[in-house]
Structure 1
Amino acid sequence: MTQEQCTHRNNVQSSEKPHVYKVGIYGWRKRCLYFFVLLLMILILVNLALTIWILKVMNFTIDGMGNLRITEKGLKLEGDSEFLQPLYAKEIQSRPGSPLFLQSSKNVSINILNGKNQMVTQLVAGSTGVEARGKMLEVRSNTGKLLFSADEHEVVVGAERLRVMGAEGAVFSKSVETPHVRAEPFKELRLESPTRSLFMEAPKGIQILAEVGDIQAICKNELRLESKDGEIILEADNIKLLRLPEGKASLTSSRQTVFEVCVCPNGKLFLSQAGMGSTCRISNSVCL
């Protein structure tokens, strides 16, 4: 019995057809795959074309890009360049024989920072002017000679001549110390204090010299010439003292044309009618 059952089962298995399983992508999946592959190839070609176009337009080469060249000494820019972000460089210089232009629509600022990232010196060139901040400002010539220096304590002008071209001259709110004050040739020199007094002092002497023109000293109240240890000398061919008061010595003729210059104890000058002797004592009513 057992042997017959096994034979029947073998006959049944041999009579059935074997199943074949196909491996792969078929139908709409296959068409979608080909479409995506084709689309990817198109994107790759477009990207490659755009890359080549950008390289050509921007002038990319082995040495650099466009006006920018990479050399052994650094970067070299040819033509106008515009920086939209901060530029950090150790040195910026132009080509030999060519100027260097820094142009901005608002201002150009140069800041010097210390080790603590604090600003110690600043130079700002703006539309309203040029402003410099720092402990000291110096201007020197090509030979190294100091031409101008300024700090919190003093301002030094090292040039041989200081020329003020303004029509109103130079205005000093405090004292001025100088060994020589001279006007330009064929120009007049005026020392004027419109609202205050004008003092000229020197430890050894003051010399006022006009080789061609005249010297005028005009004031509203008093003009004082004072010498503590020496003398005041008025040396000229003609010395004129205008509008001096006249003292009356006696009732003489009004045709008197000769007068004597007298000095009061307080230093005031007056005229007295000349006589055989001095008439200053009897006509000193002006001194009272």
Structure 2
Amino acid sequence: MTQEQYILAAQPNPLHQRAASVCGAQVYPAVGIYGWRKRCLYFFILLLLVTMIVNLALTIWILKVMNFTPDGMGNLRVTKEGVRLEGVSEFLLPLYVKEIQSRRDSPLILQSDRNVTVNARNDQGQLTGQLTVGSDMVEAQCQRFEVRSTDGETVLFSADEEEISIGTEKLRVTGNEGVVFSHSVETSHVRAEPFQDLKLESPTRTLTLEAPRGVEVNAGVGDFTASCRKDLILQSSEGEIFLDANTIRLGNIPLGSAVDPLEGAPPGTTYTKQTVFELCACANGKLYLSPAEKGSTCQTTSNFCLWS
């Protein structure tokens, strides 16, 4: 053996060492998952796959049931003009909108199990108007309440803190009991329905008719009746009271007496057989009858005014 071959044989060879380590006792086991760990891993992968399939199926079913489209969801459609709801819609929380309108061929219905309340607020959030529709009443709270005609130009009814105005040409009340006013009423014309009686009544107080330029009471076909419990006063401050009729009757006028009660004779002696009487008036305005003769007998029966 030459010297070079000896040197090469004496030097360690890495390939021989690697082979010796493999064939020798120092052999490492292969890396992997075996046994129950492998079965658990496959089970979790299968469970995840099933969950994904069920989730995808539920998502598709919800989209189908809720009717999701590019324009909206279900009865809700988003258009250029705003949001459009078709059918019956239920709101569980307050709704803030600028305008609500129905279709042209259907009415707008707001329905609630309790009350329906519509509020209006200003820029600071303060309540300026409220309309409440309840089971027993409709209540409106605002500074001024108006009801307008179909064209929106004529105010048919308006109410505020100072007055109530009715802008129609005719106000008709069809109730059997009529209208009850707690205070004064200002109007230019009060008329009953055709072939119906007009009755102005104050059961416990005084009924007063006043006008700056006159009060006219006209019954074109029927009778005019004025009755009261105490005094009926017809007063004219500047003009006169004019009674114009074919026949004027004054009933239950007392008969004047010709006997002076100051002389001791019993008062009340009247002319029982007299058929024609003269109408006399006292200074206080009371009327009485005096027997009619050739001349006036009011002077002889003027003592009636003293004890009447």
Normalised to the residue count of structure 1, the TM-score between the two structures is: 0.91
* Structure 1 CA distance for aligned equivalents of residues 37 and 236 of structure 2: 120
Q: Does 1:160 align with 2:169?
A: yes
* Structure 2 CA distance for aligned equivalents of residues 163 and 242 of structure 1: 37
CA contact (8 A) 1:67 1:79 kept: yes
2:156 aligned residue (147, 150, 168): 147
- Using the TM superposition, give the Cα deviation of residue 256 of structure 1 relative to its aligned residue in structure 2, in angstroms: 1.5
The residue identity in structure 2 corresponding to 1:282 is: T
Gapped regions of structure 1 (runs ≥ 5): 1-6
Deviations along 1:27-56, one digit per CA (max 9) or x if unpaired, are: 211111111000100111111111112222
- Using the TM superposition, give the Cα deviation of residue 201 of structure 1 relative to its aligned residue in structure 2, in angstroms: 1.4
* Structure 1 CA distance for aligned equivalents of residues 176 and 168 of structure 2: 22
CA spacing shift, 1:83–1:254, aligned 2, 3 Å? closer
Gapped regions of structure 2 (runs ≥ 5): 1-9, 260-268
User: What is the number of residues matched between the two proteins?
Assistant: 281
* Structure 1 CA distance for aligned equivalents of residues 271 and 185 of structure 2: 54
CA contact (8 A) 1:261 1:270 kept: yes
CA spacing shift, 1:24–1:72, aligned 2, 3 Å? farther
CA spacing shift, 1:252–1:118, aligned 2, 3 Å? closer
Deviations along 1:145-198, one digit per CA (max 9) or x if unpaired, are: 111111111111111111122212111121111111111111111111111111
Q: Does 1:53 align with 2:61?
A: yes
Aligned to 2:4: none
**SS of equivalent residue, structure 1 residue 73:** coil
Aligned to 1:4: none
2:113 aligned residue (99, 105, 110): 105
- Using the TM superposition, give the Cα deviation of residue 253 of structure 1 relative to its aligned residue in structure 2, in angstroms: 6.4
Aligned to 1:189: 198
CA contact (8 A) 2:115 2:135 kept: yes
Aligned to 1:92: 100
2:91 aligned residue (71, 78, 83): 83
1:218 aligned residue (215, 221, 227): 227
* Of 139-148 and 106-115, the range deviating more from structure 2: 139-148
Aligned to 1:3: none
* Structure 2 CA distance for aligned equivalents of residues 105 and 253 of structure 1: 82
Aligned to 1:255: 273
* Structure 2 CA distance for aligned equivalents of residues 100 and 17 of structure 1: 93
**SS of equivalent residue, structure 2 residue 303:** helix
* Structure 1 CA distance for aligned equivalents of residues 130 and 294 of structure 2: 81
CA spacing shift, 1:252–1:157, aligned 2, 3 Å? closer
- RMSD of aligned alpha carbons: 2.2
Normalised to the residue count of structure 2, the TM-score between the two structures is: 0.85
Task: Give the structure with higher Rg (CA).
Answer: 2
- Using the TM superposition, give the Cα deviation of residue 223 of structure 1 relative to its aligned residue in structure 2, in angstroms: 0.5
Identity within the alignment, %:
58
CA contact (8 A) 1:110 1:124 kept: yes
Aligned to 1:266: 284
**SS of equivalent residue, structure 1 residue 34:** helix
* Of 62-71 and 121-130, the range deviating more from structure 2: 62-71
- Using the TM superposition, give the Cα deviation of residue 222 of structure 1 relative to its aligned residue in structure 2, in angstroms: 0.4
